[in-house]
Amino acid sequence: MAKITEVPFETQAKENLGEIKITTGVLESIAAQAASEIEGVASKVTGFQKEVGNFLGMDRDRINTKIKTENNSIVVDVEIRVHYGYSVPEIAIAIQDKVKEQILFMTDLAVTEVNVHVMSVETETSESDASIVEEAVETIGEAFE
């Protein structure tokens, strides 16, 4: 289970109506959704992948995000897969801009860094399906050993 950390939030309003706490899980969700909206990012799992992943209890989310908070700064790490034929640097820059913009817009928190990690280049859905089947077979084999 992921560690839940709260991010301090300072409102711009003059009157204090109470306390607002935002967990890092919320920021991770915002970052993943923002990254998935960029054209060329392989963010959706196919129906087959989802069914096999659900059957085996595996999380097959294509975009993984991690939030680090250090010294009042927020650092976002985004792991993505890119569709073949798209410019990796252009996608990475677009993700950095979109993640910073959406977190600022939705939470009023400024992000210091957005690190984009390209994990693979997706060529065809059939290759992805084959890899999840291989992973499923390995997982089932390990369970019976």
Which pLDDT tens digit goes with each residue over 78-98? 999 999 999 999 999 999 999
**Residue 9, φ and ψ in degrees, nearest 5:** -125, 125
Write out pLDDT tens, residues 5-56. 777 666 566 677 788 888 999 999 999 999 999 999 987 555 555 555 555 5
Evaluated on CA atoms 29, 24, 63, 137, the torsion sign reads negative
Query: What's the predicted TM-score (pTM) here?
Result: 0.67
DSSP, res 41: B
Query: Are the C-beta atoms of 38 and 102 separated by less than 8 Å?
Result: no
